[in-house]
Amino acid sequence: MKGYIALLCLVAAVQGRNWDAHGTRFSGSPAELGENPWVVHLRVTKSTGGGLLESCVGSLIGSSWVLTAASCVQDARFVWIRYAALDPVRPGMVTETSMVTINPGFNVTSGENNLALVNINRVVETTDNIKPIALAAPIADGEEPPHQGRFCVYSGRYDDSREVLQCFRANLDYLDDGTIVADEMGSLRFKFDVGSPLVSDGVQIGVLSGLTERWSAFLQPALYRDWIQSVTGQSL
């Protein structure tokens, strides 16, 4: 993706921004049950993985659909979706998928269009702990985009490395191609966290699609609205 080239330049431009608006160093906090009911943990076996299980994150965007990163589920043979999983070893509920749709523009080498939709093999009942999240509408001309957001990962943090769901606040910048870049401190993010939803004001504005040592890059689902609607049949 062109944005990843620009991302390297952006690091130099805003290096050192590791404090939030209140002057507090960024740090994560363990998620509470029901606090992020749209976050799902995915276990994936791939035709190219020798039968080994891989992990990533996604968001429930409807009663039968999960949005995640294409790199997470590419070449998937089986995908297990784990809901209300503060600890992925003991999720609240598990279902198996019936179909994975990779964005047709996904480029493995560049990471461009790193999005996928996962169809669940059943209708998921909404509860206090399992609930879809709405996707943000495209940003209108002259409208100011969100400059703070929150996302959750299963890789722990510097002072707590347990594999439990931890959530982080971040300041956000936008590249020319629409990629959102988050500057967050205190998180331990790995490739197993791709697909994690970036949320602002109760709606999903990004999907974690790329990582550097310090920065997280998110694609905007709003820029893929037509594709998401055509695959899911949902009106966004």
Within a domain: residue 13?
no
Residues 114, 152, single domain; the answer is no
Within a domain: residue 12?
no
Residues 110, 55, single domain; the answer is yes
Within a domain: residue 14?
no
- The answer to whether 209 and 43 are in contact (CB under 8 A) is no
Within a domain: residue 17?
no
Q: Which domain holds residue 187?
A: 23-32+134-222
pLDDT in tens, 104-143: 999 999 889 999 999 998 999 999 999 999 999 998 888 8
Residues 124, 146, single domain; the answer is no
Residues 124, 188, single domain; the answer is no
Residues 51, 28, single domain; the answer is no
Residues 124, 61, single domain; the answer is yes
Segment 215-225 mean pLDDT: 93
Residue 97's CATH number: 2.40.10.10
Q: Round to whole Å and give the CA distance between 171 and 183.
A: 6
Residues 103, 120, single domain; the answer is yes
CA angle at residue 182 from 7 to 88, to 5 degrees? 120
Tokens for 130?
């399992």
The pLDDT value recorded for residue 28 is 59
CA angle at residue 49 from 193 to 40, to 5 degrees? 30
Residues 126, 148, single domain; the answer is no
The total of structural domains in the chain comes to 2
pLDDT in tens, 76-113: 989 999 999 887 777 778 887 778 999 999 999 988 99
Within a domain: residue 8?
no
SS (H, E, C) the chain: CHHHHHHHHHHHHHCCCCECCCCCECCCEECCCCCCCCEEEEEEEECCCCCCEEEEEEEEEECCEEEECHHHHCCEEEEEEEECCCCCCCCCEEEEEEEEEECCCCCCCCCCCCCEEEEECCCCCCCCCCCCCCECCCCCCCCCCCCEEEEEECCCECCECCCCCEEEEEEEEECCCCCEEEECCCECCCHHHCCCEEEECCEEEEEEEEECCCEEEEECHHHHHHHHHHHHCCCC
Instruction: Please give the mean pLDDT across all residues of the chain.
Output: 81
